[in-house]
Chain A
C-alpha cells in the first residue's frame, strides 16, 4: 500500500521534471503526453488507495523521512491516506488527468507548450502534498507550492502586462493570508507541542476557549486567502488571465478548495469553537450572494464562471461553518466535476472564437458546436441544482443543513443565491449557444474542438450527472469514520417536500426567465448607451462594487508611496550612508596617517622616539599592575566586576 501512496504522490513530480527538461525548447508533443500518462498512473494509484480505504480499518500512514528534529520540535515528511485525504486525492487526480489531456489540444499552437505542462504537473504534485500530509508543516509546504505554481500558471503568458499583474495580485493576496495561517500554526505548536494532526487535535480539548478561538480564526484567515473569501477575493476573477485549463484545474477544482480542506481537516478544532464556525458560515453565505450579484451583469464568460466558483465556495464554507463537514466535502467533490466541465467548455468556445470573451458577440453557436453545448448545458443544470444531477444532492443538502439548525437568515441568503446562480449560468448559455447569430458579422468562423478534447471532458460529464445519487450514501459511510456523522433530517415530511419542490420551482423559473430574456432576437451588443448600462445598480455590479478600485486607491498606492519613502529616505540616506561612512572612516584614516610617511628622516626619527616613549609608558603601567595585582583585584571585586 505504501508503494501506491508514493506512486500517487510522486508521479506528477516525475512528469513535471520530464516536461521541464524541454521547457526552453520548441513544442514537442511528448512533453504533453508523458505528464498526462504519469497523471493517469497517479489516478490509478489513488483509485487503489480508495479501494483500500473503503475496505480496511486503518488509514495508510507513512513517514518518508525526518525533516526537523530540533529540541522539542519534531516534524517529519509524513503522509496519511485516510477517508478525507483519499477523497481529495481522487478529485485532484481525476480532474488533473482530464485537464492535462485537454490541454494537449488547447495549447496546441502555443510556443511555450512544454513549460505549461511542467508548471501544471508541479501544481498537482504540490496539491497532493497538501492533501496527503499528516502535519501542519507539510500542509504549509503544499500550500506555498500551489501558490507558487498558481503564480506561474496565471502569469503563463508573461509578455502580457495584465497577466503578470494578475499573477502578482494572486500571489501577494495569498501571502497576506499565509501570514495569518502561519500565526495559526505557531499557536497550534505553542499550545500543543506538536504539529501532527492526530496529536494536536487530541490535545486541543484541554486548552482554554480563548486560545482555541484565536487558533481557529488565524487558520481560517489562511483559508480565506486560498479560497478567495471576502475581502481577499479580487484575485480570483483576475486570475482568469491564465489559460483556460489552468482556470479549470486550479480555480475550480483544486487550489481554491484547499481552504475548505483545511477547515474540514481541522473539524475537531472548529467543533470546539462554534462561534467561530458561525462566523465562517455567515461569511460564506455573504460571499455566495456577493459573488452571484457580480456575475449577473458581467460580460466575460470566464469571469462569470469564476464568480460562480466564488459563490459555490461560499456554500462550502457555510456548510463547514455550521458543522456539516461531510456535506461541505461532498459539495466540494461534486462542484469540482461540473465546474471543471464548465470551464473546459468555455475554453472550447474561446478557442473557437479566437479568444473573444464577450458572450454578446457570440450567439447561435449551438449550430456548430453541438458537443460543447450539450456539455455546458448539462454542467449548468448540475450547477443550478436540478434533480437528479449532482448539484441537487450537494447544494440542496446545504440548504437543509441551514434550515435544520435554525439559521434562517443563512438559509434565505443561500436560497436566493441558488436562484441567482441558475439565472446567470443560463444567461451565458443562452447568449452563447442560442438566439441570433451575432458573430459572423464580426468575422468569426467557429468550429468544434478536437475530438480527443471532447472525449477527455466526457468523464467529467458522466460524473456531473451521476455523482449525486450514486455516491452520496457510500461517501457518507466512508467519510464519517473520520468526520462527525450528523445527519440532517427535517422533522416533518411536509416541510421537507415543500422546501425541496419550492427550491426546484424557484430555480426552474429563473432558468426559464434567463432563456426568455437572452434568446430573443433583439439582443444587441451593448455599447454603453442603453439605460440599463447607465443605471447605478449596473455600474456598481460591473465594477465589482468598486472594491478593486478601493484597494488600488487606498491600499496599493499609499503602500507604494511608503516604500518609495523607505527606499530614498531610509535605505539610501541612513543604511547606505552608514556603510559608506564606515568605509570612509578607514579610507580617511589611511589618508591622514599617510602624512607620517613624509620621507623626511628627521620627522620619522621623531616618530620613532614618540613610539618608544609610548612603549615605555606601557611598560611602566603593566609593571606597576603586575606588582600590585592583588590590590587591583581587591578593588575591582569591590566594584562588583
Chain B
C-alpha cells in the first residue's frame, strides 16, 4: 500500500478513464462533451508517463507529448466547428442534432 508501484498508477488511470466515459455518455451539451473528451486524453497521458517511468523508457513520454499536441489542435478545430453550428442553429443540444439519421 505504501510502496507506489505501476499498478497504482494504472488503477488511477482506469478510474479517470471511467469518469471520462461517464461524461461522454451522459453529457448532452456539445461543449460539455468536449470536456469529457479532455478527461479521457489526460488519463491516458498519466498512464503513458507512469509506464515510461517504471520501465525506464522514454517512449511513453514522447507519446504523451504528441497526445498533448494533438489534443490542442483538436480543441481548436472542434471549437471552430461548434461556433459555426451555433451560428446556424443557435442550439448545441445533442438531441437536436439528428440529421445523420440512417
CB of A609 closer than 8 Å to a CB of B: yes
Contact A599–B100 (Cβ < 8 Å): yes
Q: Which one, A594, A597, A609, contacts B25 given CB within 8 A?
A: A609
In angstroms, Cα B25 to Cα A606, docked, is: 5
Q: Which one, A597, A599, A602, A609, contacts B28 given CB within 8 A?
A: A602
In angstroms, Cα B25 to Cα A281, docked, is: 93
Interface string of B86-100 (1 = CB under 8 A from A): 000000001101111
Contact A597–B21 (Cβ < 8 Å): no
In angstroms, Cα B99 to Cα A594, docked, is: 15
Closest chain B residue to A610, Cβ basis: B25
A residues less than 8 Å from B27 (CB atoms): 602
In angstroms, Cα B27 to Cα A598, docked, is: 17
In angstroms, Cα B101 to Cα A609, docked, is: 19
Total residue contacts A-B, CB cutoff 8 A? 32
Contact A600–B102 (Cβ < 8 Å): no
Q: Which one, B24, B25, B33, B99, contacts A599 given CB within 8 A?
A: B99
In angstroms, Cα B61 to Cα A130, docked, is: 90
With both chains docked as a complex, state the minimum distance between the C-beta of A137 and any C-beta of chain B, in angstroms.
61
With both chains docked as a complex, state the minimum distance between the C-beta of B29 and any C-beta of chain A, in angstroms.
10
Q: Which one, A596, A599, A605, A606, contacts B97 given CB within 8 A?
A: A599
Contact A602–B101 (Cβ < 8 Å): no
Interface residues of B in 20-38 (CB under 8 A from A): 21, 24-25, 27-28, 33
Q: Which one, A597, A600, A606, A609, contacts B95 given CB within 8 A?
A: A600
CB of A601 closer than 8 Å to a CB of B: yes
B residues less than 8 Å from A605 (CB atoms): 24-25, 33
Contact A609–B100 (Cβ < 8 Å): no
B residues less than 8 Å from A596 (CB atoms): 102
In angstroms, Cα B100 to Cα A600, docked, is: 8
Contact A598–B25 (Cβ < 8 Å): no
Known: A606-B25, A609-B24, A609-B25. A601 touches B102 (CB 8 A): no
B residues less than 8 Å from A600 (CB atoms): 94-95, 97-98
Contact B95–A594 (Cβ < 8 Å): no
In angstroms, Cα B98 to Cα A594, docked, is: 14
Contact B102–A602 (Cβ < 8 Å): no
Contact B98–A602 (Cβ < 8 Å): no
Contact B94–A601 (Cβ < 8 Å): yes
Closest chain B residue to A603, Cβ basis: B94
Closest chain A residue to B26, Cβ basis: A602
Contact B102–A597 (Cβ < 8 Å): yes
In angstroms, Cα B33 to Cα A605, docked, is: 10
Contact A599–B102 (Cβ < 8 Å): yes
Closest chain B residue to A601, Cβ basis: B94
Interface residues of A in 551-603 (CB under 8 A from B): 594, 596-602
Interface string of B64-102 (1 = CB under 8 A from A): 000000000000000000000000000000110111111
In angstroms, Cα B24 to Cα A601, docked, is: 10
Closest chain A residue to B97, Cβ basis: A601
With both chains docked as a complex, state the minimum distance between the C-beta of A418 and any C-beta of chain B, in angstroms.
90
Contact A597–B24 (Cβ < 8 Å): no
Contact A602–B95 (Cβ < 8 Å): yes
Residue among A597, A605, A609 with the highest chain B CB neighbour number at 10 A? A605
Closest chain A residue to B36, Cβ basis: A605
Closest chain B residue to A597, Cβ basis: B102
In angstroms, Cα B27 to Cα A602, docked, is: 7
Contact A594–B21 (Cβ < 8 Å): no
With both chains docked as a complex, state the minimum distance between the C-beta of A474 and any C-beta of chain B, in angstroms.
91
Closest chain B residue to A613, Cβ basis: B21
Contact A597–B101 (Cβ < 8 Å): yes
Contact B100–A602 (Cβ < 8 Å): no
Closest chain B residue to A605, Cβ basis: B24
Q: Which one, A598, A601, A602, A609, contacts B21 given CB within 8 A?
A: A609
In angstroms, Cα B101 to Cα A597, docked, is: 6
With both chains docked as a complex, state the minimum distance between the C-beta of B55 and any C-beta of chain A, in angstroms.
20
B residues less than 8 Å from A599 (CB atoms): 97-102
Contact B25–A602 (Cβ < 8 Å): yes
Closest chain B residue to A593, Cβ basis: B102
B residues less than 8 Å from A598 (CB atoms): 98, 101
In angstroms, Cα B24 to Cα A606, docked, is: 8
With both chains docked as a complex, state the minimum distance between the C-beta of B40 and any C-beta of chain A, in angstroms.
11
A residues less than 8 Å from B99 (CB atoms): 599
In angstroms, Cα B21 to Cα A597, docked, is: 20
Closest chain A residue to B93, Cβ basis: A602
B residues less than 8 Å from A594 (CB atoms): 102
Interface string of A348-367 (1 = CB under 8 A from B): 00000000000000000000
A residues less than 8 Å from B101 (CB atoms): 597-599
In angstroms, Cα B28 to Cα A598, docked, is: 15
Residue among A596, A598, A599, A606 with the highest chain B CB neighbour number at 10 A? A599
In angstroms, Cα B28 to Cα A304, docked, is: 97
In angstroms, Cα B99 to Cα A605, docked, is: 16
In angstroms, Cα B80 to Cα A603, docked, is: 23
With both chains docked as a complex, state the minimum distance between the C-beta of B36 and any C-beta of chain A, in angstroms.
9
With both chains docked as a complex, state the minimum distance between the C-beta of B81 and any C-beta of chain A, in angstroms.
13
20 contacts across the A-B interface (CB closer than 8 A): A594-B102, A597-B100, A597-B102, A598-B101, A599-B97, A599-B99, A599-B102, A600-B97, A601-B33, A601-B94, A601-B97, A602-B25, A602-B28, A602-B95, A605-B24, A605-B25, A605-B33, A606-B25, A609-B21, A609-B24
Please give 4 more A-B residue pairs, beta carbons under 8 A apart, in addition to A597-B102, A599-B97, A599-B100.
A600-B98, A602-B28, A602-B94, A605-B24
Name the 6 nearest CB pairs between A and B, nearest first: A597-B102, A599-B101, A599-B98, A599-B100, A602-B94, A601-B94
